[in-house]
Amino acid sequence: MRRIYITGAAGFIGFHLARLLLDEGHAVQGFDGVTDYYDPQLKRRRLAILAGYPGFGFTEAMLEDNARLSADIAAFRPQVIVHLAAQAGVRYSLEAPRAYLSANIEGTFNVLEAARDHGVGHLMLASTSSVYGANAAMPYRETDKADSQMSLYAATKKATETLSHAHAHLWGLPVTAFRFFTVYGPWGRPDMAPYKFTRAILAGEPIDVYGQGQMARDFTAVGDLVRAIRLLIEVPPVRPADPAGIAPGDSLSPVAPWRVVNIGNGEKVALDDFIAAIEAATGRTARRNLMAMQKGDVRATWADTGLLQRLTGYRPQTGIREGMAEFVGWYRDYHGL
């Protein structure tokens, strides 16, 4: 049995990861501010499910409360920290930029310091495919240069990767940073396209389709994503004895026990095909309201998942039609439709 600390445990991904680990019999301590960025009631209902497990504990507090965070980690004595809590959303970063600086940078620094102070064996932190920014070559590889972020959200996430590398180098803290690619599934966030499109289509309302529909995403089912995180727990990076011996295509640092790993489906799905999957799952036809690209958005994302497969033997592969059918089924049940 492992002792695993999850920040953002009331969130979409944190909830699914905690439940997976609890089902395996591990002890999980969650930490979350339960903010109102989106409906807190959805977060409370996720927490209610987790509270049914005897191995789950929870602290409600903000990452910026360093004393509370550090004391909580010290009391739980985790072997692994999975840092998922963050201020999310590309578009919201245009409206409330300081929330991203506070939660994502200051909050992550507090997690890094607590992990160092309390001798955590493996720190894992969530980044995003958005850090690839203006990169045109696809699929995105972890070893690609990623210095052209196009939103404040992406910039803060890239900053957390850099901060974590410094900690790994200075203090020998093993760090795995993972870059998520458009995660969706049951209990998903209401501010994301799967939820918004499903709600509108079922209500007979038009959907806003940005980029005139000429966009594509690497959609990743949440069950696949948390399985990948679970497997990566078992392969913490180590400082290379010989930097020249790092395997080609491995993002391992030459000077630190640090690595970044893409977690995506490895497939670029056109926006029209994504909408068609929702139409098939709902049995309804979408009415499209074509819109221009939004500030900070990128035209497409697509993950190279070769490193994840080499490290864990696993590759996410849930197809968009299968995944959206599962999501729509959950949505109908959750809303009593």
* Amino acid 296: pLDDT: 61
| Contacts for 204 with CB less than 8 Å, ≥ 6 apart | 284, 287
214 token code pair: 């000429």
Beta carbons of 210 and 291 less than 8 angstroms apart:
yes
74 token code pair: 């010290």
Say yes or no: domain 3-183+220-265+302-318 is CATH 3.40.50.720: yes
Look up tokens 């493996």; give the residue.
Answer: 122
pLDDT tens digit string along 81-102? 999 999 987 777 778 889 999 9
Residues involved in catalysis:
153
* Angle value at C-alpha 60, between 58 and 64, nearest 5 degrees: 125
DSSP-assigned letter for residue 258: E
pTM of the model: 0.96
Beta strands 207-209 and 3-7 are unpaired
Counting DSSP H helices and E strands in the chain, the numbers are 11, 13
Q: Cα separation of 86 and 123, whole Å?
A: 15
Residue 172 backbone zone (phi > 0: left; psi -120 to 50: alpha; other: beta):
left
Residues of the chain with pLDDT under 70: 213, 296
Q: Cα separation of 210 and 226, whole Å?
A: 28
